[in-house]
Amino acid sequence: MDRMREDAYRAVREEVAVRADALWNVALRLHADPEYGFAEHRAAALLSGELERAGFAVQRGVAGMPTAFTARSGRGRPAVALLMEYDALPGLGHACGHNLIAAAGLGAALAVGAAQASGGSVLAVGTPAEEGGGGKALEVEAGVFDDVDAALMFHPGVHSWARAPLTAQVQYRVAFHGRAAHPTGNPTEGIDALAALVELFNVLGVVGRRLPDGSHVQGIVTHGGTATNIVPEYAEGLFGLRAATTGALRELAGRLRECAEGVARATGTTAEVERATVRYEHFQDSEVLSERFAAHLARAGITLSPPAPGVYLGSSDIGNVSTRVPAIHPFVAIMDEDGSDHTPEFAEAAASGRAREVLIAVTEALACTAVDVLRSGELRGEAWARHRAARGG
Ligand SMILES: [Zn+2]
Ligand SMILES: [Zn+2]
């Protein structure tokens, strides 16, 4: 059994090795041609084309998104999904290194597909618009991950962390309706909607001091009236809510609604509160799988540590996948800790010699972890048991 697993690791590593130059070339082509969320047409065509040529059954335009796709090798369960992000950042190119995520997911899927001896399937999933569009959230809703046992990806970073402390996030639009009037001529007739919105900011400032660690609200005014000689009858703000867990985010959204309604009662306005974006859930790491990934990656001399305590990062739509199936999203450093993603320096690092080394090491580790998922019923059982326990808790 162990001997057979070792043989399978060797086989996928060989498949990665023969593709190393081609995978790096894919990473560089994406890097040189950045496309933005939901418009990654050339990236999706390049990646799905490579998979199709290798015999994967490709389905394009999944979940109603033209640049989303799935590619399957084999059939049925067990099934392991390898995720590819490929959107860039306006003005900054591949400053989040998604070109490397795409090439690693592609390489691991091709390697496992080519070396696949046992049953089950490898599903490569093209996931558009991670930077704000929530492509994966829409794919989860469309059932793309319904018959999958594990979802695997990595993210380049400035740290090498086994798991990602990704928070839950959503935006809400709050509108206040008052009554217009001339501020001098008939001031008592006016009901100032902007004053209500300003009051909401004040109340949230007080509430903010009592929120749990990782929770916060950031608001902006998107409509604040039209002229200084009219009492504003309409005012609107957009509020970004973030929390360490999806449960805490739900509570925070409830708090926002209460505050808006309270302010409306106090000011004689009416309030409308509505969700303005897809909700990004917090990331729930599958420890048994991220441990397997870390062990495979250690072979290449890259050590992953737990994230620094108390650190919360931004949000990602992998969170929505991770509440549906056991998932991993480790960070592997492509630059030193004094750097940051979403900078021109990070974009440069995403096409550097170090990035190439990371890409090949990570592709091997993802492929070997996929082999573990496909070959070990025990591992799958443990991953699902812990996943369900965490969901229930
Ligand atoms: Zn990013
Ligand atoms: Zn990213």
Q: What distance in angstroms lies between residue 117's CA and the mean position of ligand 2's atoms?
A: 33
Q: Contact at 8 Å (CB) between 184 and 255? A: no
pTM beyond cutoff 0.75: yes
Interval between CA 341 and ligand 1 midpoint (Å): 7
3-state helix, strand, coil in the chain (%, to 5): 45, 20, 35
The DSSP line for 77-120 is SSEEEEEEE---BTTTBSTT-HHHHHHHHHHHHHHHHHH--SSE
Distance 86 CA to ligand 2 centre (A): 9
From ligand 1's centre to the CA of 342, what distance in Å?
6
Whole-number Å distance, alpha carbon 374 to ligand 2 midpoint, is 27
Cα 131 to averaged position of ligand 2 atoms, centre (Å): 7
pLDDT, tens digit, 9 for 90 and up, residues 124-175? 999 999 998 899 999 999 999 999 999 999 999 999 999 999 999 999 999 9
CA–CA gap between residue 160 and residue 176 (Å, rounded): 46
CA of 177 to the centre of ligand 2 (A): 38
- Asked whether the CA dihedral 375, 379, 384, 390 is positive or negative, the reply is negative
Report which of residues 50 and 213 the model is more confident about. Answer: 50
The rounded Å distance from CA 130 to ligand 2 centre is: 7
* Residue-level pLDDT at 287: 97
Model confidence band, residue 241 (pLDDT cutoffs 50, 70, 90): very high
Give the β-pairing of 150-152 and 79-85.
parallel
**pLDDT tens digit string along 344-355?**
999 999 999 999
Point out the least confidently predicted range of 99-103, 179-183, 318-322: 179-183
Distance in Å, CA 250 to ligand 2 centroid: 24
Ligand whose nearest atom lies closest to the CA of 341: 1
Q: What is the dihedral sign for C-alpha 385, 386, 388, 393? A: positive
The ligand with the least distance to the CA atom of 156 is 2
- Residue 391 banded pLDDT, cuts 50, 70, 90: confident
Q: Separation of 101 CA from ligand 2 center, angstroms?
A: 9
Q: What pLDDT, on the 0 to 100 scale, is given for residue 1? A: 55
Q: What token pair was written down for 393?
A: 């808790």
CA distance 169 to 28: 31
| Gap from CA of 322 to ligand 1 centroid (Å) | 18
The reported pLDDT for the residue numbered 392 is 72
Give the distance (Å) from ligand 2 centre to CA of residue 256.
28
Domains recognised in the chain with CATH numbers: 2-165+283-390 (3.40.630.10), 168-275 (3.30.70.360)
**Nearest listed ligand to the Cα of residue 329:** 2
| Centre of ligand 1 from the C-alpha of residue 12, in Å | 29
CA dist 232 and 181 (Å) reads: 8
Torsion of the alpha carbons at 302, 314, 85 and 137, rounded to the nearest 10: 130
Contact status, residue 134 vs residue 280, Cβ threshold 8 Å: yes
How would you list the strands of the sheet with 270-275, edge to edge?
216-223, 234-243, 168-177, 270-275
Calculate how far, in angstroms, residue 131's C-alpha sits from the geometric centre of ligand 1.
Answer: 6
Distance 96 CA to ligand 1 centre (A): 5
Residue partners of 271: CB distance under 8 A and separation at least 6: 174, 175, 176, 177, 196, 260, 261, 263, 264
85-109: string of b/e by CB count within 10 Å (b at 16+)? bbbbbeeebbbbbbbbbbbbbbbbb
- Ligand with an atom nearest the CA of residue 131: 1
